[in-house]
Every structure is written in C-alpha cells, then in structure tokens.
C-alpha cells in the first residue's frame, strides 16, 4: 500500500522493516532520520515550497505523482496515516479541491510523460465512481500518461476488498490505472478483528477475480505479520492464501505500534501482549524463503515480486527520485525540497489561487540530509547502494567521513550483515533483519 507522498506512505508507505533487534531512537528524537520517516510535529501551516522555495527552476522535470484520498469506512487500530471516517458528504468538495491542486502541480511535470502515479489513503476505493471518472479525466488532461498507457510505467490505486465493485474497477482500468494494491492484511478473521479491520477475508479472492475480469494484470496484496495471537502456521497459511490468488507482488509488513494509534493504546492498557520478537524473526525468515520458492524475490525489506513486477513508484521513493504530492497529508520531494501537505481536510480545502495548499512541514535542500536519506532507503533495497558514488559524495562534504564510513561498512561485512563488491554495498539476509540499526551505525559514522 505506502512510503510515501508513503512516504510517508510513498517513501515508505508501509515499508517498515521487521523489528529492530537493537534499540533505535524514535524519529522525533533523532534529527538524522529523514523527514519522510518522521511523524511531523504540530506546526503552524506554512506556504508551499513549490511556490516559495525556488523550485521554479525544476519546472517540467518531475516524473512521479502521489495522490492521497483520506476517506475510510473505519479507522483501523494500527494505522497512523491520515484518514477520516467517510460519510460521503465531503467527497465531492474534496475531489474538486484535489483537481485544483493537480492543476497547480501539473506544470512541474509538463516536460514529458509521467512514469508512475500512486493513489493511496485512506481507502481510495471508497471514492464515488462518478468522482473517480472526473478525477481520472483531469489527471489525463493535466499530465502526460502516454508512457503508462504504453506499458512503460505504472498507475497504482490502493483498494480494500470490501469497497470494490465491477463498475469501479472498469472505471479505473479505462482511466489508465493498470495496477492495484489490495489490502488483505490477513486471511484469518480473528486476526483481522485484532487489527480492527472490518472486511471478511473471504472477500479478497472475489475482489482479485473481479479485478482480473476488468483487465488488471498487475495486482499486489498487503499482509501483516506479528499480530498478537498469530502463530507461525497462521502466517504460513496467509502467505499460501495470497500466493493462491496468483498475485505477482506481495508486501509483507511487520505490525508496528505507532504513537497515537488505538492499537498502541490497547497495548499500553494491557489488552494484549505483543508478538514474541523471536517469533517475528521466524515469520520474516519464513516469508523470504517461502516466497522465493514461489518465484517472488525480495527486492526491498518488506516487498516481494516476480521478475519485472516490482512497484516502480515505490522504487522511485527508495531511490530518492522526485515526486509530486497532492491531497491532505501527502508528502512530496522536488528539487531537494521535502514537504507534507496540511493533514486536516478542513485546512486542505482552503485553497490558494494557484491551487497549492499550505504545508504542515517542509525541509529545504540539504546535501548532508540527502546523503543520509540515500543510505536510509538504499540499504533497504536488494540492489543496495552505489558505494563508489556514496563515498565520493561523503568526501566532498567531509574527507575524514570516508574512513569512518568505510570502517562501519567493513564492520558490518565482517559480521556477515553486508556484502561489499567494491562498487556496491548490499545487505545480507541477516543484515535485512536489522536494516535500521545498520543505517543508524552508518549515520553515526558520518557524524564522527
């Protein structure tokens, strides 16, 4: 489903590693952790950086777009992404406002076709079909979708199985959407109840079949492991159920307890005990082996696909490319600027003449931060980091940092956590288990 505009969900939309096996500071306690990995502080809204931050020089260059649809039928207890319970009374005004923002953003992508579009939430499949028709028409009218239409890019929409219909799926496919991300989370009713997910697991299969009938060939399924009360056998059956649907991509996320969520409050009250850490590690290792045997290789800490079926949009986040972001709480990255739109729908609906909303937080271009972000997301990928380029960039900023970073990489290599081919650094299977901890070590090395 995430990282990013999951980063948030875009950068990182649900791109969470398995549990850290060593203590790691929380994001707001450690300014080295990138903005898109942090829960932004409550700040007075400020002007959009594409209006004020000198990004005019990058007009026409951006090739990815994220849209956030905040509506949900119910707030799942583990979710910390911005959403609100949908009564359909504000869907129309939201869609009109989103279209105005897209008008304001389109000039930043006018120089060529978009490569990726991702619509996350919330639950985008809750948006009324007539509003989807209007939104898709505006996207195609404001942006060049020729590469996506030609199969050279991708256009993904997140869906929940209980809120899809044949009419919606046909509308999406006709409008240029060619990939769906289906939020199953579990095929066991009791675990869905623990997560406060409302759908019946028996609806996932029919939803996938309906999507294929509508012409969708690229389908992803989201699953969660480490749910309180979930056994290793339960998790294995979930993987088998997802594989049985013939999906080409799986996102398998370890349940995390985010500050401010109902799930965390229940944990703190003692309503349940968290999954045992050793069990979570067993679940993760089972996932890697089980999916590899089925032809889905891990290409990022939490994501698996058949060859050529990787999420191109999420790869753009993890490779630190640029993307535009539209919708409440959506996070973007252009010309080195990072920002997060105001999260409250009421605030978002107050549009400026150019269509761009205020932002809740933003960060100006910073070479040191960009380098840390490259390490943070690059080591999560199977392809790893371009070590030669990274060390060159470190040398430009601080020559002494090269030796410290090399020493950290050598230590990880000796411990069997990192493969060093000379040109690339990639995490081993053991390294992937503690990816965040390794990155924190690398960042500490840069800080001296």
Dihedral Cα 224, 148, 66, 213, nearest 10 deg: -40
Write the CA distances from 86 to 120, 125, 155, 342, integer angstroms. 15, 12, 24, 19
Burial class (CB in 10 A: 0-12, 13-18, 19+), 261: middle
DSSP label at residue 34: -
**Tokens 């505009």 found at:** 5
pLDDT tens digits, 396-448: 999 999 999 999 999 999 999 999 998 999 999 999 999 999 999 999 999 87
The pLDDT score that the predictor gives to residue 53 is 64
The pLDDT score that the predictor gives to residue 275 is 87
The pLDDT score that the predictor gives to residue 422 is 83
Is the CB of residue 294 less than 8 Å from the CB of residue 306? no
Give the pLDDT band (50/70/90) at residue 174.
Answer: very high
Cβ neighbour number for residue 290 with a 10 Å cutoff: 17
Give the pLDDT band (50/70/90) at residue 58.
Answer: low
Estimate to the nearest angstrom the gap between the alpha carbon of 170 and the chain centroid. 25
> Nearest to residue 179, comparing CAs of 137, 203, 151?
151
Does the pLDDT of residue 43 top 90, yes or no? no
Structural element, H or E, at residue 180: strand 179-185
pLDDT tens digits, 189-246: 999 988 888 788 999 999 999 999 999 999 999 999 999 999 999 999 999 999 999 9
Does the pLDDT of residue 320 top 90, yes or no? yes
Is the CB of residue 12 less than 8 Å from the CB of residue 327? no
Helix residue ranges per DSSP H, 109-250: 129-142, 146-149, 166-174, 189-195, 204-213, 232-244
Give the pLDDT band (50/70/90) at residue 80.
Answer: very low
pLDDT tens digits, 340-393: 999 989 899 987 888 999 999 999 999 999 999 999 999 999 999 999 999 999
Query: What is the C-alpha separation between 176 and 136, in angstroms, rounded?
Result: 8
Return the structure tokens found at 103: 């008008």
The pLDDT score that the predictor gives to residue 54 is 62
pLDDT tens digits, 93-150: 999 999 999 999 999 999 899 999 999 988 999 999 999 999 999 999 999 999 999 9
User: For the chain, what's the residue count?
Assistant: 448
pLDDT tens digits, 281-302: 999 999 999 999 999 999 999 9
Give me the domains of the chain, ranges plus CATH numbers.
9-318 (3.80.30.20), 366-448 (1.10.10)
Q: Which phi and psi (to 5°) does residue 379 adopt?
A: -70, -15
Give the pLDDT band (50/70/90) at residue 7.
Answer: very low
Helix, coil or strand: residue 43 = coil
Write the CA distances from 243 to 16, 187, 315, integer angstroms. 21, 12, 22
The pLDDT score that the predictor gives to residue 10 is 31
In the chain, DSSP finds a helix count (H) and a strand count (E) of 18, 17
Give the pLDDT band (50/70/90) at residue 55.
Answer: low
CA atoms within 13 A on the CB side of 91: 21
Is the CB of residue 185 less than 8 Å from the CB of residue 198? no
Query: What is the C-alpha separation between 3 and 256, in angstroms, rounded?
Result: 14
Does the pLDDT of residue 176 top 90, yes or no? yes
At a CB cut-off of 8 Å and minimum separation 6, what does 121 contact?
Answer: 68, 69, 70, 71, 72, 81, 83, 158
270 phi-psi bin (left φ>0, alpha ψ -120 to 50, beta other): left
Write the CA distances from 8 to 15, 75, 284, integer angstroms. 9, 17, 23
CA atoms within 13 A on the CB side of 330: 27
Does the pLDDT of residue 35 top 90, yes or no? no
Query: What is the C-alpha separation between 107 and 13, in angstroms, rounded?
Result: 26
Kindly write down the DSSP assignment for every residue of 53-84, as one continuous string. SSGGGGTT---EEEEEE-EESS--TT--S--E
């Amino acid at each position: 489903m995430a990282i990013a505009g999951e980063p948030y969900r875009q950068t990182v939309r649900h791109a969470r590693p398995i549990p850290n096996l060593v203590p790691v500071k929380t994001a707001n306690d450690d300014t080295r952790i990138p903005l898109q990995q942090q829960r932004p502080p409550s700040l007075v809204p400020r002007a959009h950086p594409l209006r004020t931050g000198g990004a005019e020089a990058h007009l026409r260059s951006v090739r990815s777009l994220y849209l956030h649809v905040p509506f949900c039928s119910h707030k799942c207890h583990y979710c910390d992404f911005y959403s609100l319970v949908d009564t359909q009374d504000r869907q129309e005004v939201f869609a009109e406002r989103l279209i105005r923002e897209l008008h304001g953003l389109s000039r930043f992508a006018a120089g060529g076709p978009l490569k990726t579009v991702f619509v996350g939430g919330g639950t985008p499949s809750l948006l009324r079909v007539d509003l989807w028709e209007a939104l898709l028409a505006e996207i195609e009218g404001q942006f060049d979708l020729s590469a996506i239409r030609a199969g050279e890019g991708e256009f993904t929409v997140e869906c929940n199985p209980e809120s899809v219909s044949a009419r919606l799926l046909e509308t999406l496919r006709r409008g240029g959407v060619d990939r769906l991300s289906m939020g199953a989370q579990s095929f066991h009713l009791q675990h869905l109840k623990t997560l406060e997910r409302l759908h019946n697991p028996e609806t996932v299969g029919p939803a996938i079949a309906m999507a294929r009938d509508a012409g969708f060939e690229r389908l992803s399924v989201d699953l969660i492991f480490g749910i309180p009360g979930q056994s290793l056998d339960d998790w294995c059956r979930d993987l088998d159920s997802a594989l049985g649907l013939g999906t080409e991509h799986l996102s398998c996320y370890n349940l995390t307890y985010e500050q401010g969520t109902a799930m965390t409050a229940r944990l703190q009250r003692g309503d349940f005990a968290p999954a045992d850490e050793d069990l979570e590690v067993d679940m993760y290792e089972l996932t890697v082996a089980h999916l590899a045997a089925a032809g889905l290789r891990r290409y990022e800490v939490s994501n698996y696909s058949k060859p050529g079926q990787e999420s191109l949009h999420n790869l753009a986040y993890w490779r630190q490319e640029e993307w535009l972001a539209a919708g409440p709480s959506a996070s973007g990255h252009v010309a080195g600027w990072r920002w997060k739109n105001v999260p409250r729908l009421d605030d978002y609906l107050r549009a400026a003449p150019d269509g761009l909303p205020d932002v809740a937080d933003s960060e100006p271009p910073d070479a040191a931060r960009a380098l840390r972000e490259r390490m943070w997301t690059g080591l999560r990928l199977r392809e790893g980091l371009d070590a030669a380029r990274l060390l060159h960039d470190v040398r430009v900023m601080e020559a002494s940092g090269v030796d410290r970073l090399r020493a950290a990489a050598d230590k990880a290599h000796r411990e069997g956590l990192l493969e060093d081919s000379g040109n690339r650094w990639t995490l081993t299977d053991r390294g992937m288990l503690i990816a965040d901890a390794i990155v924190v070590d690398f960042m500490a090395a840069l800080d001296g």
